[in-house]
Amino acid sequence: MPKPQYEFHRPRQQWTPAGGPVAGVWEQILARDPHSGDYTRLMRFEPGTDTTPNGPLAHDFHEEVYIVDGDLTDLTLGQTFNAGMYASRLPGMPHGPWRSDSGVLMVEFRHGFPR
């Protein structure tokens, strides 16, 4: 079964901590395929969030991220990204750690996510 089919609606899922040792990182799962593990989520960082304790990340799945609002700085690259910017990361691509000065809201698509 693929992700559920929805017409436009206001998601009722709650914001929950995204996990890891850093507070201030939240997620809201919008849709999930229970068989493949693929999912779509909103992710937000509160202003001042710094994920340095998480270190750089590399996943074993494909990830696409679109910044809806705010700023996100990749501390390894020394680059700041903002609203309207998009990333597509293949499995194994290192990224982060991150800091957001004003906070950030992103939509994220994960494909081939381990169940």
Look up the pTM and report it. Answer: 0.90
Report the CATH number that the domain containing residue 48 is assigned in CATH: 2.60.120.10
What would the pLDDT profile of 43-102 be if each residue is shown by its tens digit?
999 999 999 998 998 989 999 999 999 999 999 999 999 999 999 999 999 999 999 999
Instruction: Look at residue 1 in the predicted model and tell me its pLDDT.
Output: 54
Residue 43 is encoded by which pair of tokens?
A: 């992710």
Tell me if 84 sits within 8 A of 67, measured CB to CB.
yes
Rg of the Cα atoms in the chain: 14
What would the pLDDT profile of 7-54 be if each residue is shown by its tens digit?
988 888 899 999 888 999 999 999 999 888 899 999 999 999 999 998
Domain annotation covers residue 41:
yes
CA distance 86 to 89: 10
Domain annotation covers residue 4:
no
Q: Provide the domain limits for residue 94.
A: 26-111
